Amino acid sequence: MLLSRDELKARIAELCKEKNAIIMAHNYELGEIQDIAHFCGDSLELSMKAANVDADVIVFCGVHFMAETAYMLSPDKTVLLPNEKAGCAMADMADAGALRELKAQYDNPFVACYVNSTAAVKAECDVCVTSANAVKIMQQAPKDREIIFVPDMNLGRYIEEQIGRKMILWEGFCPIHHRITPDMVEKRRAEFPEAEVIVHPEAPLEIIHMADEVLSTGGMLRHLNATDKKQFIIATEGGIIYRMQKEHPEKQFIPLSEQLVCPDMKMIRLEDVVKSLETMTTKIVVDESIRINGVKPIKRMLDLS
């Protein structure tokens, strides 16, 4: 029998109570998923929450590396990813074996990874960063060691500029943010000359240079609480606009382009969450030897944040 959206939401609430489960969702998820989440946030906020969550089960509405991170921080919990196909094209651009080979070419490099990386890649690193804390953390990198940054070259270039240091950059990128062009920004600015342009640091550096603000999704939401401005061009994955509009109905949010949609972030539906809780699938686990090494850079990040 097909359930209505309201019936699905009621069933999810019932199952969460029964299983002592908490639903965590990334800011890019579909609106209906953000609405049922107990906690919505960016990668840093979700990691911090996962480290201190008071529940037996975490239903992670996001992509695979996020659920892995939650598991690494809370291995005593059951971590469920409601759609096992939800991955991250950028995280898949780096693998641990190739990173080990790169590390071997340098004398004791300091290795930093963006949180958008696999557990096995994290296990090769000294510190992890998110877009919310990357500059602050990389400013604290040892001055006497070369830095390898993996996998996002766009975020890496932004960090280089902010901290005034060159790094050895992995040539990965987010296909969604990487497709942003100067033409897109110019066109929208011409249409909405009063609007503030807010860009995510996964965008190419030339786009970042055109922005009024460069912020993580969590940073964008905090910025909106603090500003009196009324109109914004949003240059990141479009899912964030749902939350922006919900929290600020008096403000106008214009997507930079309708093309900025991550298919992986749109895979989880209410039906998947119900099924996930009913069948306790798909459980995300990380091999313990990888987890022990992979959680170290995440904990270091949380300590430095």
Amino acid 101 reads E
Largest Cα–Cα separation, the chain: 64
Look at the block and give the residue holding tokens 């401005």.
229
Question: Minimum distance from CB of 211 to ligand SF4 (Å)?
Answer: 18
User: Which DSSP letter does residue 282 get?
Assistant: P
Residue closer to ligand SF4 (CB basis): 28 or 71: 28
Does the footprint of ligand SF4 cover residue 155 (CB under 6 A)? no
Residue 27 near ligand SF4 by CB under 6 A: no
Q: Is 102 in the site for ligand SF4 (CB under 6 A)?
A: no
Check residue 88 for interaction with ligand SF4 (CB under 6 A): yes
Helix (H, G, I), strand (E, B), or coil: what is residue 279? Answer: helix
Three-class DSSP category at 110: strand
| Residues linked to residue 79 through DSSP beta bridges, in sequence order | 58
CB of 144 to ligand SF4, least distance (A): 32
Does 120 interact with ligand SF4 (rule: CB under 6 A)?
Answer: no
Cis peptide before 151 (omega within 30 of 0): yes
Applying CB under 6 A, which of residues 94, 265, 277, 298 lies at the interface with ligand SF4?
265
| Residue 174 is a binding residue for ligand SF4 (CB under 6 A) | yes
The residue among 16 and 282 lying less far from ligand SF4, judged by its C-beta, is: 282
The answer to whether residues 214 and 134 touch, using CB atoms and an 8 Å cutoff, is no
- What value, to the nearest 5°, has the Cα angle with vertex 218 and ends 213 and 222? 70
Residue (84 or 146) nearer to ligand SF4, CB? 84
With CB under 6 A, what is the number of residues at the site for ligand SF4?
12
Smallest distance, ligand SF4 to C-beta of residue 249, A: 25
Tell me if 237 contacts ligand SF4 by CB under 6 A: yes
On the 0-12 / 13-18 / 19+ scale of CB atoms within 10 A, 239 is buried
- Contacting positions for ligand SF4 (CB under 6 A): 63, 88-90, 116, 174-176, 237, 262, 264-265
